[in-house]
């Protein structure tokens, strides 16, 4: 159970209840973060709006790569719900179990290509050492990504950090989407 319990369904605004009921139909239950975000409806709608932008086909950062870096961000932030969901999304986006299982060890693993390594390194830098980022790091990214892709990837990483930190702090429990070993 999350550290903040859900309110009774009728206590959420109608438009949040609509979303929560839809989620129950899709997943068999309301996911823990939705009960939490639903307590602040405007922020929840903003999060859903951003997620909609990120998930458009024309978004400059590839969905499979976004899911891969999301797993690492979730691991770094201790968000088991996010590891679970993002590993599921990675596999759904035609990622493979071997990569999903080895994300925490990406520096030593041989399964990641140079582009994936650059994205994972960038995700770690933005998550853990953002103040230390300089022009050199961005130049290294340009070997694999355009400026629009770097901007899009960075926006995604920031969004995932917001989500993972929120979920981890409030103890949002995992759903059981994907059975990856916790790291």
What the block records as the tokens of 64 is 């499979």
CB atoms within 10 A of CB 33: 23
Q: What is the pTM of this model?
A: 0.93
Sequence-separated (6 or more) residues with CB below 8 Å from residue 42 = none
Do 103 and 85 lie in one domain? The reply is: yes
In 3-state terms, what secondary structure has residue 128? helix
Could you give the CA distance from residue 82 to residue 99 in angstroms, rounded to a whole number?
16
Do 161 and 71 lie in one domain? The reply is: yes
Evaluate whether residue 130 is within a structural domain.
yes
Q: What is the extent of the structural domain holding 23? A: 9-54
Evaluate whether residue 182 is within a structural domain.
no
Evaluate whether residue 176 is within a structural domain.
no
Do 37 and 100 lie in one domain? The reply is: no
Full pLDDT tens readout for the chain, 183 residues: 799 999 999 999 999 999 999 999 998 999 999 999 999 999 999 999 999 999 999 999 999 999 999 999 999 999 999 999 999 888 988 878 999 999 999 999 999 999 999 999 999 999 999 999 999 999 999 999 999 999 999 999 999 999 999 999 999 998 888 765 544
């Amino acid at each position: 159970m999350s550290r903040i319990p859900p309110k009774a369904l009728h206590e959420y605004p109608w438009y949040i209840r609509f979303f929560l009921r839809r989620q129950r139909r899709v997943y068999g239950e309301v996911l823990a973060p939705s009960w939490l975000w639903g307590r602040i409806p405007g922020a929840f709608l903003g999060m859903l709006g951003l997620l909609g932008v990120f998930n458009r086909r024309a978004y400059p950062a590839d969905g499979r790569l976004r899911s891969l870096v999301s797993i690492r961000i979730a691991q770094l932030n201790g968000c088991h719900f996010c590891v679970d969901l993002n590993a599921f999304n990675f596999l759904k986006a035609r990622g493979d179990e071997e990569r999903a299982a080895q994300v925490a060890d990406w520096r030593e693993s041989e399964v990641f290509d140079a582009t994936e390594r650059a994205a994972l390194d960038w995700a770690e830098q933005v998550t853990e050492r953002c103040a230390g980022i300089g022009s050199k790091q961005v130049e290294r990214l340009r070997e694999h990504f355009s400026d629009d892709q770097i901007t899009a990837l960075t926006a995604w990483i920031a969004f995932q950090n917001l989500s993972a930190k929120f979920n981890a702090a409030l103890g949002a429990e995992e759903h059981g989407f994907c059975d990856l070993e916790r790291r």
